[in-house]
Structure 1
Amino acid sequence: MARKNLLQGLIGDQKAQPEGAEPPAPPAASQRPRYSRGAIGAVSQSIAELKSRAIAEIDPFLIDRGGLVDRLDDDTELAALTASIREHGQQVPVLVRPHPDHPERYQIVYGRRRVLALRDLGQPVKAMIRDLDDRELVVAQGQENTVRKDLTFIEKANFSRQMRDAGYGRKVICEALNVDKTQMSRLLQVADALGPDLIAVIGAAPAIGRDRWLKLVEALRVSGTDPDTAMAHANLAGGPTSNDRFEALLNALTLPLRRQAAAEAGGEAIVLRSDSGAEIGRLTRRRGATTVTIPHAGAGGFDEWLAANLSEIHRNWLKQHDKKKS
């Protein structure tokens, strides 16, 4: 999929475009910086380009939320990130844009958890500052997480739902998440079936892939479970992690079906006894079949006799059955 990569060129030299790739679209006239002509204009343009690549230190309390919610919060992961930054410092800068409504403030494009961690540590945020419109912001946000493969399946599903609900078209959503239309349809199917509240209760569930989420959607449909009941299952039966909450909810929804399948698989066992009461064997009725089991130990050859005479036994049964019908 040919697409404009909004992240390219933020750090270091830009890489050459692959042969046949679509060149980056020029900014709209309303967003293009206005430079004077001649030498002054060239210098001004060079300074602007350097600024876009420079890393600034910003007070974390001057950075506000921007774009869409790309991550489902996990206190454990945030605590681990905070501890890592405390020990090693901030290794990767975040990307921000000037706040469109409040001068001297910024909006986060990506790196929200790093900003939260640095707030807790009382340290400035190393950030790249770039002028982006709303569309460029969400596309850059999605692309950055896709490149780093940081978003889980359900986070991608939740992000795609937010983009659609915000009015972005399918092409923009596919660009942001680097997915095709079929993949995007599956993401939206899961997000719409679960709803934002249930997704928030379960969490990111990094160990749960697409097929398991689709299985959960099917379990909700078959069981007819409403969202409030599903959230109660996830909260009450779940463990401390989002993976645990997912498994607890799926187990709760599929328990009746699993019990029914187990009963059908086990069948109804009837003990076969001799006139003296000794067990001869067992007859088990399963869906679509009846099985007679005779242990070799203690059979005394009865199993062989039964196999040799089964046809005659069946003929006698048919004669009796035909008499009853007549």
Structure 2
Amino acid sequence: MARKNLLSGLGGLGLPAGNPDLSPASPHEPAAAIANFGGARGAIGAVTRSIEQLKANAVQDIPTESIDPSFISDRIGFDAANYADLVESIRAHGQQVPILIRPHPDKEGRYQVAYGHRRLRAAVELQRPVRAIVKRLSDDELVIAQGQENNARTDLSFIERARFAASLEQRGFERATIMAALFVDKTGLSRLISAATKIPPDIIDAIGAAPKTGRDRWIALAANLEAEASVGAVRAAMSDALMSAASSDERFNLLFSASVIKKVKPLKPKTKPSAWVAPDGKTVARIQDDKKLCTVVIDKKVAPEFGAYLIESLPELYAAFMGRESK
């Protein structure tokens, strides 16, 4: 029935719309014959194009040894537990979701992954072909497909997306392409690239994906690491024994704590007390004079009664001082 519907126009009198190869029937030739020939050609061409489109989107079994990874990585580290679950699921139920690959742009007869690297790895481990959709993609189309598939799964952490964005920019991709791949606006993309470029690569690698650590914490770490002292402190902490046993998010917290360098205000040197020596040569008092206080300390061993006398004389002294100020 489907075939009858597809070819039902073969005997029609009119040419298919948009077919420039045939002219109207000549008065010297049977119109029906020309119409039949032209109609067949147009209909068969349409069917052929439909079949080619179906083939382009059809899921195929592709030998894993003929497939190369994407030219750019979007992951940091390797989650062994999640991968083991994926392998067991494919072993038990088969590969339910195909990967997307393209004909390799530089190697005849080979393919390159747009997305589905873990499924490809699982197929290799299980020694079976991988189910894939083969599609001709430009480099821009590949990275957009790669980024959007990961966004759809909400599978990449902030720092993985940040490093992916920075790597694409370093390879010369336009920001419009990167924004399309990551579903971000200009501000969001700037934050991603800033975080990935301000944090040294070895520190990112030491932390890993940190899936539970959000944008603000990574940006705060980047700000802390603008100080050379913080970079040194973090690198020293990377060798801590706790790092090897900690999860990725715990490693972030450990290194973030190390990056916080408390700024100690330098102590202002205190002025050295000056000695007041009486005419008889005795050091009766020591005077500490700074911006806030003037302190007079009487040595009672030298002049036991002088302190009390000075206190009693303060009203007269102050009155004399004020009288001098009024003149």
Task: Give the TM-score band, short-chain normalised.
Answer: 0.5 to 0.7
Give the distance between the partners of 2:176 and 2:207, measured in 1 at CA: 29
2:251 is equivalent to residue 245 of structure 1: yes
Provide Cα deviations, 1:46-75, integer angstroms capped at 9, x if missing partner. Answer: 122101221111122221012421111324
Q: Is the CA contact (8 Å cut-off) linking 2:64 and 2:129 kept in structure 1? A: yes
Matches within 5 A, 1:7-46: 38-46=42-50
Give the distance between the partners of 1:59 and 1:240, measured in 2 at CA: 38
Question: Which residue, 82, 87, 99 being the options, matches 2:92?
Answer: 87
Based on CA coordinates, which of the two structures has the bigger radius of gyration?
2
3-state SS, counterpart of residue 104 of structure 1: coil
Moved over 4 A (4+): none
Deviation at 1:216, TM superposition (A): 1.1
Give the distance between the partners of 1:204 and 1:88, measured in 2 at CA: 29
Q: Is the CA contact (8 Å cut-off) linking 1:66 and 1:108 kept in structure 2? A: yes
Provide Cα deviations, 1:12-67, integer angstroms capped at 9, x if missing partner. Answer: xxxxxxxxxxxxxxxxxxxxxxxxx7344323311221012211111222210124
Question: Which residue, 56, 60, 78 being the options, matches 1:56?
Answer: 60
- Please give the root-mean-square deviation of Cα atoms over the aligned residues, in Å: 2.7
**Count of paired positions:** 228
Give the distance between the partners of 2:112 and 2:239, measured in 1 at CA: 33
Q: Is the CA contact (8 Å cut-off) linking 1:65 and 1:108 kept in structure 2? A: yes
Structure 2 partner of 1:281: none
Provide Cα deviations, 1:172-228, integer angstroms capped at 9, x if missing partner. Answer: 11111010000111101100111333322321110000011012112212463347x
Give the distance between the partners of 1:197 and 1:172, measured in 2 at CA: 27
Q: Is the CA contact (8 Å cut-off) linking 2:225 and 2:259 kept in structure 1? A: yes
3-state SS, counterpart of residue 101 of structure 2: strand
Cα distance, 1:75–1:206 mapped onto 2, change above 3 Å: closer
TM-score (norm 1): 0.63
Q: Is the CA contact (8 Å cut-off) linking 1:81 and 1:117 kept in structure 2? A: yes
Structure 2: stretches of 5+ with no match in the other structure:
1-40, 266-310, 322-327
Deviation at 1:159, TM superposition (A): 0.7
Structure 1: stretches of 5+ with no match in the other structure:
1-36, 262-315
Give the distance between the partners of 1:86 and 1:231, measured in 2 at CA: 42
Give the distance between the partners of 1:63 and 1:48, measured in 2 at CA: 22
2:96 is equivalent to residue 98 of structure 1: no
Q: Is the CA contact (8 Å cut-off) linking 1:163 and 1:173 kept in structure 2? A: yes
Counterpart residue type for residue 46 of structure 2: A
2:182 is equivalent to residue 177 of structure 1: yes
Provide Cα deviations, 1:70-127, integer angstroms capped at 9, x if missing partner. Answer: 1113242323322332333322111111112222221000010111122112122111
Give the distance between the partners of 2:192 and 2:237, measured in 1 at CA: 23
Structure 1 partner of 2:277: none
Q: Is the CA contact (8 Å cut-off) linking 2:210 and 2:249 kept in structure 1? A: yes
